[in-house]
Amino acid sequence: MLSIMIVDDEEVLHILYGKLLKHKGHTVVASAFNGDEAAGIYRGLEPSPDLVLMDHRMPVKNGLEAMEEILTIDAGAKIVFLTADAGVAEKAMDMGAADVLLKPFRMDLLLRTVEDAAHKVRD
């Protein structure tokens, strides 16, 4: 299964995503609550997580800025971008996101997206 990093400024979403992912056999290896923290933590992870779930609207550094920095650290990073802004979704894909989920989304869609990413990681 996958090692996953969760980046979101809402603690309740960390808990929800973490429980859901653990139930499906995945492991949350790191969590961050803003984009700046995310890039710093990602830099120190060895090995890098298989997948990053990245929120957009966060304090200090937003998701696009954090994703750009993470992709500079690791061009092969797989980042699923989570946003309510369709314009940001398009930009995230252009910048290199593996996938985008538009909020609000159902948890089964999140799991399906993670599973699709799992197949890409194994290939």
CATH code assigned at 73: 3.40.50.2300
Instruction: With H, G, I as helix, E, B as strand and everything else as coil, classify residue 81.
Output: strand
The answer to whether residue 4 is domain-embedded is no
For residue 49 the two structure tokens come to 């997580």
Residue 107 counted as domain residue: no
- Number of domains into which the chain is organized: 1
pLDDT of residue 59: 92
Nearest to 88 by CA among 63, 112, 66, 111: 63
Residue 45 burial (CB < 10 Å; 0-12/13-18/19+)?
middle
Taking residues 84-113, what's their average pLDDT? 93
Q: Find the domain containing 27 and state its range.
A: 12-83
Does residue 39 belong to any structural domain of this protein?
Answer: yes
Mean pLDDT, the chain, whole residue set: 93
Residue 113 lies in a domain: no
**Is the residue at 103 inside a domain?**
no
The per-residue pLDDT for range 44-64, each reduced to its tens digit, is: 999 999 999 999 999 999 999
Q: Which tens digits make up the pLDDT trace of 80-97? A: 999 988 889 999 999 999
Is there a domain that residue 72 lies in? yes
Q: Above 60 in pLDDT, residue 1?
A: yes
